[in-house]
Structure 1
Amino acid sequence: MSYLDLPRLHVFGCFYTDPSTKNNDPKHYLPETKRPAPWQMPRGRHHFKLIGQGAAEAADTSDWRRGCRIMAAIDADGNAVRDSAVVGVPLASTERPCPARIVDLDVYQQSVSTIFGLEVRIGTADGPHLVGRMDPAPLNGAWFEAVQPTRGWEMQYDQGSYGGDSNALGVFQSVLRIASADWTFDDTGVMGQLKRRCLVETVAGVDHYLLAFRFVLDGYRNVEGSIDFCYGRMTGTLGPLLPGDPTETPGARWLEPRPLPKGAPWYVPRFYRAPFRVDARTNRLQVDWSGSVSRAGFAGPPADHLGTITAVAATPNGPVTLGRIRVDQVTYQTQGGISELDLTEQQVGLLAEAPLELWTDTEEIGPKRLFAEPADGLACRTQNRAIRLASEPGAAAAASVHVTRFGKPLAGVRPNLLVVPVHGNTPGATVPPDNPGDTWNAEGALDAMASDTDEQGFATIRLSANRDPGSRTVELDGQVYFVYAWMGARDPAATAEQESQISVLLWQRYAVNAAPEWADIHALMAPYAKLYDAMSDKFDLADKAAFTFYANNPGFGFFTGGQPYQIAGFPQIQSGAIPFYLSLPITDPRYMPVTRDLSPSKVQTIFHYILREQQAIVPSGGDTP
């Protein structure tokens, strides 16, 4: 539960992103679709940025449009500090070596969008600062009904509210890795405490301090015509990553939300799952509701009419009141949407084996119990939730699942697994239900096996293909699966419980072509030329002359500053923008294609074509080599 550990920093502000949505319609992957609908931002570049303080003007100093900054710092003893060297300083992405990218796994699974290559600076370049690179961060909770409707929940919600992605919120969690030379804050005070508390990893002789970073994005405008077009709101928390901590999930206990009452009017709020922790060291209850209470309006405060919310221990001898949980805009902006409640040692002892519940004192918004922890206290949450996997023999991938009971790791148990091929009507699919999705030969092609949990509650899930899964269309490679992990009697597939889900894009088997012709390459490039206008604005991937020019120019030294660079298996290729970007690690924000949906065998085929083309070039003033 590292981001809730002490010391920690709370941040609030603004983000920017411009993903193209032209690839969000399965019908656009049909060869007969020659002119796909532009929809929203057809020329989007999939950039993702955290905007630093002062990037936007706003009269209200608490307005998220003013940019990201540290709103509060909590020291090792749990006290808020008033250190101007920390509180109020900007947080921003550096855009080095280029802006980070945010990319869906597949058209049928747009709820594990992953941020690749985000580098974050806290502080200023010419003052005390830290700079860290974030591990790829998959969306770890997407809620598409996070804003109160202006008409009613049952009146075609999107039209009865704000439209587009303005109704949605997303939760991300990952790790920031800060090289020792990039942490220049003074070793005293809260930043010194944070540095000493962090897990340290040594890579190539350089120490890196590891911070957990969890943040919520909402209030996003993806419809042109607004001053906030492509911008949205961010709130989050950073804390020390500790040994044994999960990196993409809180590793905590979870509250399940009350269902929306049938026929509920517009003002009745909706709720989403919320992580919480009982800290026995400080005797505090910490509830993270930042992504769990519907907003009163676009980028607005939590829903009003919530009444007084009280935490209750549901003991076998009856409910025991623990105290009030604060849910308001001030907490959202300054504390990352995390409310804390001081407990007695006796109350901490009760919660060690009793589920937590949150109740309201008003009947105006329906049943008073708003949240409840499962009675058995079990939580089963996955990591490495977005997987791209080749189906050739020997190809494999791994994810993990963290199993706890009332917040304690559960060792020596094996999670249940369920593999679900995804169709348009599969719960959790992100396209209209009339889309066909996976074909018949997807059934049974993906194997998933779980190990027993270790002492820290982690089980490994190993994934591999037992045969060729085929493809959905000639332009939509492979098949998509949801893999669910759970304990007890729960059925996460019925509700598409994202936090217990692993999504897998399993590519079709493709024999590497060592002597491809342009027709073979054109077939691979044509879908990208059709769907990604931002690339076509630079050059047409499906045009042989343009492809050939950028397959040969410039030399790799242009990109590396003269440093040696080799493509594995193709050391003879020493030039070309296309082979350079195509050979980068998938975690690099410059990787091509930006959607990261080209299988390794197809990439190898492209390298063979480029190598042959380069070897056929006659050097100026010389003979064919």
Structure 2
Amino acid sequence: MSYLHAPRLVFTGDFLSDVSTVNNDTAHYNNATFQPNFQEPGQGATNGWWNPEGGAVFDFQNCSVRQLFLPDGSTQTSQSEDIIIGQAVVGAEGRPTGKMVDLDPDAQMYSALWCVQLRICDAKGNLLFKGDINTTSFRDIQMRQTDGGKSNGQPLGATWTSVITNVEWGKVAEQSAFLKTLRATTQSNTLAINMNPFGYYYNHNDGRFSLGRIIGSIGPYFEGEPLTFAPARRLYGINYTPSARGTYFSTSNFLVEPDSKRVSVDFGSSFPVADSIGTISYKQDLRLAVSKVPQTGVASRQTPTFYISPNDFTEIGALDYQSDPNWLNQTGGIVSFNDLPDATISALDNNQLILVTPSTSLPGQYAIIAREAIDGLVARADNFILRLDYGQSVDVDFYTYQWGKPLANTGITATLQPPTPDTPVGPQNPISELYGNNFPVDGLSFNGQVSSNPQGKAQIRLTGNAIYSPRVYIDGQIYSIDYQTANTDPAFGPEQVVVHLRDYFEEIANPVWDDISEMMIQYSNLYPIMSKYVVNLADPLALAEKKNILIFAFSRGMNDTMHMPVTRDLSTAKRNTILNWLNNPQVAPKPVVRAEARETKAVNPVAPGTPLTDRQTRYREAVKAKNGSFPGFSASDDLFENL
């Protein structure tokens, strides 16, 4: 994605993320131990945390275009220069807003945007352009706030990178020279977009509850490029900051354009901010440079800083950010140096970019704040967050680059992370036993060794195999796959592909309530906003009464904003079973199956002849103790179904 190329625009403002927090707590998925107070707001594990009635809504708030960057290297910031400057960036009109949801309670660092539309309109509401943002998940999560998030509760920031498709250009777009140039430059009527959210508020008392700051950049898209990350070179922070318990400037994309003699670095995702709205109080003298000698160091508590002599680098220029506390919001944190000397551009062909500051303890030396990876290597997966059903296969696309150019014949190794342990009930885990991830290890099949083609691209096919409730009361399993090249910089690798593999389940053509009750009760527990304001998902009579609207919601496609459930965590077979019930609601109990027949009955999620695991048996007994029986069987039955 080419959001760093010209022409590009920068917008800033707020985003609304009305996430539900009941479903953030893994223990809340256990129907047998769920209590009503888990749906109440609070600060501890025995309630619904800080926003239990969230509806997963995402939207743009108070966003506007702040700056344009043109192909000649100039910038524009006044509406007198172009009509689009100062105009509102908003979400969809005439339909529900987009959604922001996690992959899973065990994978909350990959929050994804679904069904988000972006529009830019003038003050009269006339459309300049609009388009749909492809589903994309958090990447490059890093420390942002120097106040540690005291005001808002969340000091970290992240990045969403994607493409805008189905672009429609309004009539007034013809009045914008910038938009005409952007439209002529981009390909496939698609645009590249990068958004950096930070400063999110958990605090109910400030007036910014459920709001955060967002910085966005939109530029041209070029065919054949990845969709969820920029095919750019990258800076990595290596200066350890005790107050941040790590590094600022942790990851920053940059682009070298030899024809334009230009270097552009995006600090919009990494520049440290003083507060939740992006005020800059940082005071260091920061300079970009090209190192003349290889840099391999990485920060730690023991070695927090690495130094370099000015004889060992060629300076590009200083970051002019200190004169304006609002610099980040105005510029998006993207710094461009134009008309660089030929020698500097040539040096960048095969030497590392570094970010340095004059040392206060070693006169004449410079501390290295961030550096490029060894040999300028970048290897990243594109579709790195996946949802799989049993028997489903997906090709994961990998791209390899060296010094910003596609790198052919590069081996990529992918390895499943080892299983993580279960956590028994105890003082630090008071509600329910929690179950680990990455097992059974045969849940996924894939070739762990591939090599990039002449375009620097490689593919690994992942296939989901049958798994039978390894986490007992949470559908499916989370698998994390490490990947790297043989020469990946050990300081910054590996990265991960993360998969939610759903449980094996056979669709039931004519289900009764017992077949879907555990699923619907769990949704009622986890999404109280539905049961309080729409329909009680745990009440079959109420569901039958509202079946038409529920059939509509459950039958929507994954990329439809009306899709139900918003967490996309049901397999096709389970969702179809729910739809089958809604089309013919049967509330009567499931007929009792004779013991001898039950021995050979194929049950879900346990396959015929598969013994119950200890954890499944414990869960069954807990449900019986609470409800008097397990759905579909009496309290004396030995088998169970429909976890």
Q: Indicate whether the TM-score tops 0.5.
A: yes
Aligned-partner residue type, residue 456 of structure 1: Q
Q: Match for 1:137: what amino acid? A: T
How do 1:160-175 and structure 2 match up within 5 A?
161-162=150-151, 164-165=153-154, 167-175=155-163
The equivalent of 2:182 in structure 1 is 194
8 Å Cα contact 1:422/1:437 also seen in 2: no
Residue 594, structure 1, aligned to residue 571, structure 2: no
Question: What's 2:18 paired with?
Answer: 18
Match 1:93 to one of 91, 94, 99: 91
- Alignment match, 1:30: 30
The Cα of 1:254 is off from its aligned counterpart by 1.1
Q: Secondary structure at the match of 2:3?
A: helix
Corresponding residue number in structure 1 for 2:397: 400
- Please report how far the alpha carbon of residue 298 of structure 1 lies from its aligned counterpart in structure 2 after TM superposition: 2.9
The aligned counterpart of 1:509 is 504
Q: 1:324 aligns with which of 318, 331, 338?
A: 318
Matching residue's letter, 2:329: Q
Q: Take 2:446 and 2:312, find their aligned partners in 1: how far apart are those partners?
A: 42
- Call closer, same or farther: CA 1:48–1:359 in 2, change over 3 Å: same
Within 5 A, what are the aligned runs for 1:144-155?
Answer: 145-149=143-147
Structure 2 residue aligned with 1:454? 453
CA deviation profile, 1:329-366 (whole Å, cap 9, x unmatched) = 44412221111123212111111111111111143799
| Aligned with 2:54 (options 44, 49, 53) | 44
2:52 partner amino acid: P
Q: 1:126 to 1:318 in 2, by over 3 A?
A: closer
Do the aligned residues in 2 keep the contact of 1:134 with 1:176 (CA within 8 Å)?
yes
Determine if the alignment matches structure 1 residue 355 to structure 2 residue 352: yes
1:220 aligns with 2:200: yes
Structure 2 residue matching 1:192: 3-state secondary structure: helix
The aligned residue for residue 377 of structure 1 is: 376
Report if the CA contact (8 A) 1:130-1:178 is conserved: no
Task: Give, in angstroms, the shift of residue 416 of structure 1.
Answer: 1.3
1:254 and 1:139 mapped to 2: Cα distance?
Answer: 17
* Structure 2 partner of 1:525: 520
The higher radius of gyration belongs to 2
Tell me which residue corresponds to 1:205: none
Q: Are the aligned partners of 1:11 and 1:235 in contact in 2 as well (CA < 8 Å)?
A: yes
Change (3 A) 1:550 1:314: farther
Q: 1:239 to 1:181 in 2, by over 3 A?
A: closer
Q: Give, as a single letter, the amino acid of the residue that structure 2 aligns with 1:461.
A: I
The structure-2 alpha-carbon separation of the partners of 1:473 and 1:180, relative to structure 1 and needing over 3 Å to count, comes to closer
Q: Distance in 1 between matches of 2:393 and 2:5?
A: 35
Alpha-carbon distance in 2 for matches of 1:330, 1:425: 47
Do 1:441 and 1:469's aligned partners in 2 also have CA atoms closer than 8 Å? no
Q: Is the 8 A contact 2:469 2:475 kept in 1?
A: yes
Aligned length: 545
**SS of match in other structure, 1:281:** coil
Structure 1 letter corresponding to 2:371: A
Cα distance in 1 for residues equivalent to 2:291 and 2:539: 66
Cα displacement string for residues 409-433 of structure 1 (whole angstroms, at most 9, x for unaligned residues) = 012323111222563799xxxx99x
DSSP 3-state at the match of 2:183: helix
The equivalent of 2:330 in structure 1 is 334
Amino acid in structure 1 at the alignment position of 2:395? A
* Deviations, residues 77-116 of structure 1 (Å, cap 9, x unaligned): 2222342411111111125420100010001111111111
- How many Å separate the matches in 1 of 2:160 and 2:82? 28
**CA gap 1:345/1:222 in 2 versus in 1, 3 angstroms:** same
What is the CA-CA distance between 1:45 and the residue it aligns to?
Answer: 0.6
CA contact (8 A) 2:152 2:201 kept: no
The worse-fitting range, judged by mean Cα deviation, of 413-422 and 363-372 is: 363-372
The change in CA–CA distance for 1:439 and 1:458 in structure 2 (over 3 A counts) is closer
RMSD of Structure 2 on Structure 1 (CA): 2.9
- Contact 1:378 1:406 (C-alpha < 8 Å) held by counterparts: yes
Q: Which moved more, 1:296-305 or 1:243-252?
A: 296-305
Cα distance change of structure 1 residues 178 and 513 upon mapping to structure 2, 3 Å threshold: closer
Q: Post-superposition shift, 1:38? A: 1.5
Question: Where does residue 314 of structure 1 map in the other structure?
Answer: 292
SS of residue in 2 equivalent to 1:23: helix
1:417-436 to structure 2, matched below 5 A, reads: 417-420=414-417, 423=420, 436=434
Contact 1:256–1:371 (CA under 8 A) maintained in structure 2? yes
Counterpart CA distance in 2 for 1:333 and 1:275 is 18
Q: 1:265 to 1:530 in 2, by over 3 A?
A: closer
Aligned to 1:623: none
SS in 1 for 2:523: helix
SS of alignment partner, residue 470 of structure 1: coil
Partner of 1:138: 137
Listed as ranges, the matches of 1:528-607 within 5 Å are 528-537=523-532, 538-551=534-547, 576-607=548-579
Distance change (3 Å), C-alpha of 1:228 and 1:441: closer
Deviations 1:134-179 (A, max 9, x none): 1112112222x322246xxxxxxx7xx44632x1212111111244
- Please list every run of 5 or more consecutive structure 1 residues that lacks an aligned counterpart in the other structure: 52-66, 151-157, 201-208, 552-575, 617-625
Paired with 1:544 and 1:197, the residues of 2 have a C-alpha distance of 55
Kept after mapping to 1: 8 A contact 2:255/2:265: yes
Conserved in 2, the CA contact under 8 Å of 1:327 and 1:339? no
Query: How is 1:38-117 mapped onto 2 (pairs within 5 angstroms)?
Result: 38-51=48-61, 67-81=62-76, 82=78, 83-117=81-115
Identity %: 26
